[in-house]
Amino acid sequence: MYRIITGIKNVVEYHVRWLRSVAFDARFNLDTKFKYNEDEQFPAIIPETQQGYEPTCSATLQKIISRLPINFEEFTFVDLGSGKGRAVLVAMGHPFKKVVGVEYSEYYHKIACQNVQAYRQSQPEFCPVELIHGDAATFPIPSGNVVLYLFNPFQGDVFD
């Protein structure tokens, strides 16, 4: 009985997260949610490090960031493996010195650029944002105070 209840709870939690992501996208006219078979767009140049796309739960990340005991204006938020940019968008709602997203997939990077542009139209006072199409393994972490965010973006040598 316990396993069935746990399984049902996991299914319900998954669907609640999915509904929240749909609501987040709809509210700001964005495209950050997972779509079945979309990973076929990701170039499999380094398949052993590829994890596939799964966006951060915006509500969970909002809670995490808002509880950081930091002076936001003194920190740069960096999302390695930023995908379509959901974590970047959530971080934009805080007064970081700057928000940076680094994404290897050109496909996801272009979507993230469109998402940031659409989000900024509704909230133009957000902090500066830089989206980089590049390899997280070679990205130089900015000097100074940094909040480094990774949501299971890669494995193997890149993660090491």
Amino acid at residue number 56: T
To 5 degrees, how large is the angle CA 81–CA 52–CA 10? 105
Q: Name the token pair of 127.
A: 């902090």
Report the share of the chain in percent with pLDDT over 90. 42
Q: Cβ neighbours of residue 32 under 8 Å, at least 6 residues apart?
A: 21, 24, 25, 55, 83, 84, 85, 86, 89, 115
- For residue 70, the tally of other CB atoms under 10 A from its CB is 12
pLDDT in tens, 66-92: 999 999 999 999 999 999 999 999 999
How high is the mean pLDDT of the chain?
79
For residues 88 and 118, the answer to whether their CB atoms sit within 8 Å is: no
Higher pLDDT, 91 or 152: 91
Separation between Cα atoms, residue 18 and residue 76, nearest integer Å: 28
**pLDDT score at 40:** 52
Res. 95 pLDDT band, cuts 50 70 90: very high
Is the pLDDT at 155 greater than 80, yes or no?
no
Global pTM reads 0.77
**pLDDT score at 31:** 82
